Amino acid sequence: MSLPPSSRPAEVLAVGADGSLRPGIRAVPEEVPVSLVYSSVPFAVMMLTPGDLEDFAYGFSLTEGIVTDAAGIREVGVAEEERGLRLDIRLAPSDLSAHLSRRRSIAGRTGCGLCGIEELDQMPQAARPDGPAPIIDTAAIRRALAALEAAQPLNDETRAVHAAAFASADGTLRAVREDVGRHNALDKLVGAVMRGGIAAAEGFVVVTSRCSFELVEKAAAMGARTLVAISAPTALALVRARALDMNLVAVARRDAVAVFHGMDRVKETARA
pLDDT tens column, 60-73: 999 999 999 999 99
Q: pTM score > 0.85 for this model?
A: yes
- Give the pLDDT band (50/70/90) at residue 251: very high
Q: What is the pLDDT of residue 258?
A: 96
**What are the C-alpha distances in Å from 261 to residues 24, 206, 229, 267?**
46, 15, 13, 13
pLDDT, greater one: 270 or 135: 135
CA 221 to chain centre: 12
- Looking at residues 104-124, what average pLDDT do you find? 52
- Looking at residues 233-260, what average pLDDT do you find? 95
- Give the pLDDT band (50/70/90) at residue 5: confident
| Alpha helix segments (H runs only) across 8-137 | 53-63, 93-101
**269, pLDDT greater than 90:** no
DSSP 229: E
pLDDT above 90 covers a percentage of the chain that reads 78
- Looking at residues 121-145, what average pLDDT do you find? 87
Q: What is the pLDDT of residue 108?
A: 54
Q: What is the pLDDT of residue 93?
A: 85
DSSP 97: H
Instruction: Residue 272: count other Cβ atoms within 10 Å of its Cβ.
Output: 3
pLDDT, greater one: 1 or 263: 263
CB 181 within 8 A of CB 203: no
In tens, the pLDDT along 27-51 reads 999 999 999 999 899 999 999 999 9
Those residues whose C-beta lies under 8 Å from the C-beta of residue 120, and which sit 6 or more positions away, are none
- Give the pLDDT band (50/70/90) at residue 127: confident
Q: What is the pLDDT of residue 97?
A: 61
Candidate list 96, 112, 139, 198, residue with the active-site label: 112
CB 271 within 8 A of CB 154: no
**120, pLDDT greater than 50:** no
Q: What is the pLDDT of residue 126?
A: 87
Structural domains of the chain, ranges and CATH numbers in brackets: 32-122 (3.10.20.10), 136-267 (3.40.140.10)
- Looking at residues 164-181, what average pLDDT do you find? 98
pLDDT above 70 covers a percentage of the chain that reads 88
- Looking at residues 224-232, what average pLDDT do you find? 97
- Share the mean pLDDT of the chain: 90
Q: What is the pLDDT of residue 4?
A: 80
pLDDT, greater one: 105 or 200: 200
Q: What is the pLDDT of residue 99?
A: 56
Q: What is the pLDDT of residue 117?
A: 47
Indicate if 112 belongs to the active site.
yes
Q: What is the pLDDT of residue 118?
A: 47
Q: What is the pLDDT of residue 67?
A: 94
CB 232 within 8 A of CB 209: no
Q: What is the pLDDT of residue 101?
A: 57
